[in-house]
Amino acid sequence: MNNQRLVILLLLVAYIFSPSLFNWILDPQGAWYRPYIVWVGVILVAFVMQIRRKNHQDFD
């Protein structure tokens, strides 16, 4: 149940901030590496969640 709340919260935050994030990424005056910052963040979050899940399963 705890994971469902987290997913719902993340989806809500993504829905609220997606227009601002897309405008920030696609800004022609912005730096070329902006999309890569977002993808590195997504990869890091997935990595941390996977480690936490693996550690949690080891204790069960």
CA atoms within 13 A on the CB side of 16: 6
Sequence-ordered list of residues with C-beta below 8 angstroms from that of 21, at least 6 positions apart, any chain: 38
Residue range 7-16: average pLDDT? 88
The structural domain count of the chain equals: 1
- pTM, rounded to two decimals: 0.59
pLDDT tens readout for residues 25-51: 888 898 889 889 888 988 998 898 888
Rounded distance between C-alpha atoms, residue 13 and residue 43, angstroms: 18
Distances (CA, A) of 57 to 4, 16, 30, 43: 18, 33, 42, 21
Range of the domain at 41: 2-59
